[in-house]
Structure 1
Amino acid sequence: MARPNRPRTVLVKRHGIVTRITHALNVVFVAVLLMSGLQIFNAHPALYWGQASTFESPWIAMTKAEIGDEARGITTIGSLRFDTTGLFGWSGREGAREPRGFPAWATIPSWRDLAAGRRWHFFFAWLFVANGLVYLAWTVLSGRLKRDLLPTRDQLRPGRLAREILDHARLRFPKGEAARRYNAIQKLAYLAVILVLLPAMLLTGLCMSPGFNAAAPWLTDLFGGRQSARTFHFLSAGLIALFVVVHVAMVVASGLWNNLRAMITGRYAIQPGEPPR
């Protein structure tokens, strides 16, 4: 009995050289920025709203507390209070713990050194900005912004969006010809990061520079004060970290090797005969 013909796998071009290089550099830059940023945060592991720090009422804080005769790590978010011993507030090896917001393994450098953390952070921040400008310029000039990243009117139909969200929740990913292009969920997520989160993180970071405050005090006022800008900086960085985690999870779930090959060689494997889902 003859076997049915299986769809032939075809390698198609998915990512250009500029996308692949800037993506690889961003992996390094974002990791260093997040870890050095946590080192800076650990110098005062609390966040506030407004212009000045109201030490008695932070909206989030990671501290060491003595409960009875035992030291505990306590994280407060508004009126909520959590015991986070060993992770936030009071961390390290058993018997050698110390009071610090985020644990040593999550910061650069791992030991307490605010000056070193700031140097790492500022140096890689400008590398990250330069890399981002190269990517953005190439995306616009090559036509990729309109061709690959802007969702079409059809993709934005409520029914189609709802179906794509449901498919993602069920880990059902586009197949066949539909896999050649980003779907609306991917496009909206990438645009939110590129056009909203990254600019917000950059601008709020500038708000914490005394020199920039003197040159453009209106920017700090735009975010509601210096401490509000610090809070927005922390939140935007946290959302970018969340995006990275979800992005990596989706890469693994939708085909780790195929996605890695696309980012390394630019080629992505599809099966043309398989109908879109």
Structure 2
Amino acid sequence: MSPAPSARVFVARHSLVVRLTHWTNVAALLVLLLSGLQIFNAHPALYWGDVSVFDRPWIAMFAAERGETAVGLTKIGPWTFETTGVLGFSDNRVRGFPAWATLPGYRSLADGRRWHFFFAWLFVLNGLVYWSAALVGGHLRRDLLPRRGELSPRHLAAEAAAHARLRFAKGEAALGYNTLQKLAYLAVIAGLLPLMVLTGLSMSPGVNAGLPWLPELFGGRQSARTIHFLSAGLIVLFVVVHLLMVAAAGPANSLRAMITGKFAVTPGDAS
């Protein structure tokens, strides 16, 4: 007997491997971000090239005296902004990012590096598990690669317009990723995340000695550090947009699917 049109049916959406690697990535990336900002605070400036040119940073966070008080300043290219309390000077001390945004909260380059390196290797191993399962199990081909016609300008424009109006797929159409999701996920898992790993390795003296061509691939050791930082910023932006889209589309169903693997579908719903 078929279910009533209004009855919800729970169907499988995410495999166990996808769910486990997703939540492992959430934890690893959070720790990597916070510990990375702790490491950045040891020298809160970025450069292009192979060496640090201290008087010509591309980005810098510092403090300056203004009368009898100190103010935090952030320099981006030729522009300088006052960012007291957030960047450059916070908690009555000179520091790039504030204590609440770093791991650990206290000033410690050594502890920040320990947290960062441990979770960096966890992140790499987790990525290898995900990619192996995606290739062997067909997740990459079945769920992430755009199909014929999905990359046409008309189709992409229609999806972008629907997203702008917060109109999302319903019913069985919601079981798969739309083209914008596929492109965004591919850009992150096949672009940004590997770039983070490679630029991170490019900053390691041991890797520099064994693979001197790796930092040169990015224009030098300091350029690799800058690209590493910018990639982290883009990943944060992706996460923010991702969470907003989950909230707009229905967080309960999306979270259930990523925790239990089951997605609720109402037969007869229009896509």
Q: How would you bin the TM-score normalised by the shorter chain?
A: over 0.9
The one of 159, 163, 166 equivalent to 2:158 is 163
Aligned partner of 1:114 among 106, 109, 116: 109
Give the aligned partner of residue 7 of structure 1.
6
Structure 2 residue ranges without an equivalent (≥5): none
Q: How does 1:259-274 map to 2 (within 5 A)?
A: 259-274=254-269
Deviation at 1:68, TM superposition (A): 2.5
Amino acid at match of 1:235: L
Scaled by the length of structure 1, the TM-score of the pair is 0.94
Q: Distance in 2 between matches of 1:83 and 1:273?
A: 55
Q: Distance between the aligned counterparts of 1:134 and 1:261, measured in 2?
A: 22
Letter in 2 for 1:46: A
Aligned-residue offset at 1:50: 0.4
1:151 is aligned to 2:146: yes
Of the candidates 211, 214, 217, which is equivalent to residue 219 of structure 1?
Answer: 214
CA-to-aligned-CA distance 1:29-77 (integer Å, 9 cap, x gap): 1110000000000000000000111111111111111122221111111
**TM-score, structure 2 normalization:** 0.96
1:176 aligns to what? 171
Q: Partners of 1:98 and 1:34 in 2: how far apart? A: 22
Task: Give 2:61's aligned residue.
Answer: 62
Query: Once the two structures are superposed, what CA deviation does each residue of 1:150-183 show, in whole Å capped at 9, x if it has no partner?
Result: 0112211111101111211222111122211100
Task: Kindly indicate whether residue 135 of structure 2 is the aligned counterpart of residue 140 of structure 1.
Answer: yes
Find the counterpart in structure 2 of residue 50 from structure 1: 49
Asked whether the equivalents of residues 47 and 61 of structure 1 are also in contact (C-alpha less than 8 Å), the reply is: yes
Cα distance change on mapping 1:207 and 1:140 into 2, 3 Å: same
User: Is the Cα–Cα contact under 8 Å of residues 8 and 273 in structure 1 kept in the other structure?
Assistant: no
| Cα distance in 2 between the residues matched to 1:211 and 1:50 | 19
The Cα shift of 1:6 comes to 4.9
Tell me, yes or no, if the aligned pair for 1:201 and 1:237 is still in contact at 8 Å: yes
2:198 matched residue in structure 1: 203
Measured in 2, the distance between the counterparts of 1:8 and 1:159 equals 34
Identity between Structure 1 and Structure 2 (%): 63
Equivalent position of 2:39 in the other structure: 40
Q: 1:28 — aligned with what?
A: 27
Q: Amino acid of the residue matched to residue 246 of structure 1?
A: V
Task: Tell me if the contact between 2:5 and 2:266 (Cα under 8 Å) persists in the aligned partners.
Answer: no
Secondary structure of 1:61 counterpart: strand
Give 1:51's aligned amino acid.
Answer: D
Contact 2:71 2:82 (8 Å CA) reproduced: yes
- Residue in structure 2 matching 1:240, options 235, 244, 250: 235
> Structure 1, unaligned stretches of length 5 or more?
none
Q: How many residues align?
A: 268
Please report the RMSD computed on the Cα atoms of aligned residues, expressed in angstroms: 1.1
Name the SS for the 1:117 alignment partner: helix
Q: Secondary structure at the match of 1:111?
A: coil
Letter in 1 for 2:105: S
